[in-house]
Amino acid sequence: MTKNLVLALSGGVGGAKLALGLSHIVAPENLLIVANTGDDFEHLGLSISPDIDTLTYALANLDNQTLGWGRRDETWSFMETLATLGGPAWFRLGDRDLALHVQRTLRLKAGETLAAITADLTARLGIAARILPMSNDPVRTRVDTNEGILDFQDYFVGRQCQPEVKSLHFAGAEAARPHPDFRAALASPSLRAVIICPSNPFISVEPILALPGIRTALAACEAPVIAVSPIIGGRAVKGPTAKMMTELGLTPSAAAVAARYADFLDGYIIDHQDAAEAAGLTPRTILAATLMTTLEHKIALAQTALDLADSL
């Protein structure tokens, strides 16, 4: 059997960059991007799936590169007006972005699954590869902080990651069923590689790993499991990864991220800046330019990850 199936596990921004790179070098029918849904929440009566949406906008070439989140060509009339009406304005939703949430919510209420809705909406936006929620069942990341337990978006957007993190909990994960196609991909004889995208391990990757059977399946799968470090020179490109690591008693480093995946990781890609860490790492580790500022960088890093997998 030809090993051609690439399974990517991804959170939002950083992960979406590598997923976009993969989508340029892997045939769409051979690429399955599993998205974290631990960030999902209900707001303004809408079901919002931030990581699915970030992946969707990135792969549809609709991502807002000025803001670094949301949709391009966005307008803000809704949010401006909602604020004047006394509505909750702490989570900003652009007018175009809002349409995605409204349509998703309508279809969820009508009984469709998140996976089916995501498949249809991504297809309508011209995305050929498949973006799959890790589960159709709700998983909700909660952050235990020095200010108490916060829902993820309250911590992440509402409090801008300022509270000190003590631990993370993925409510619902124990009972959630990984999407059958995710399980099937992990068990597939045609699986070429699993790529853990450079997303925050604690809030983007570990909710996926918390689903029943996933860690075991990753450890058992015959294909190489490759991760790309989200830490460069002891810092996160974007987001609270490094701050969280410190608060959780870890030294922010590529090595500390790899340690979170020690039970299944076969290959690891770290930035040239972190060359000194390579020697101490157990998985096969290579150096690359991991800061993906252009499409060329994204494609090159995706190719590096596949080459590493193919070499193992």
- Do you know the residue count of the chain? 312
Q: Is 96 a residue that touches its own copies (CB under 8 A)?
A: yes
Q: Are 275 and 232 in contact (CB under 8 A)?
A: no
Q: Are 177 and 75 in contact (CB under 8 A)?
A: no
Among 25, 98, 250, 259, binds its own copies (CB under 8 A): 98
Binders of its own copies among 142-181, rule CB under 8 A? none
Least CB distance from residue 198 to its own copies, whole Å?
29
Least CB distance from residue 100 to its own copies, whole Å?
6
d(CA 310, CA 200): 25
Other residues' Cβ atoms within 10 Å of the Cβ of residue 295: 13
Q: What is the largest CA-CA distance in the chain?
A: 60
d(CA 291, CA 37): 24
Stretch that binds its own copies, among 24-32, 120-128, 152-160, 302-310 (CB under 8 A): 120-128
Site string for its own copies, 15-54 (x = CB under 8 A): -----------------------------xxx--------
Q: Is 109 a residue that touches its own copies (CB under 8 A)?
A: yes
Residue 117's alpha-carbon distances to 41, 98, 111, 122, in angstroms, are 16, 15, 10, 8
Among 29, 124, 167, 311, binds its own copies (CB under 8 A): 124
Q: Is 272 a residue that touches its own copies (CB under 8 A)?
A: no
Q: Is 279 a residue that touches its own copies (CB under 8 A)?
A: no
d(CA 277, CA 259): 12
Site string for its own copies, 55-94 (x = CB under 8 A): -------------------xx-xxxxxx-xxxxx-----x
Residue 307 neighbours by CB under 8 Å, 6+ apart: none
Q: Which residues contribute to the site for its own copies (CB under 8 A)?
A: 44-46, 74-75, 77-82, 84-88, 94-96, 98-100, 102-103, 105-106, 109, 120-121, 124-125
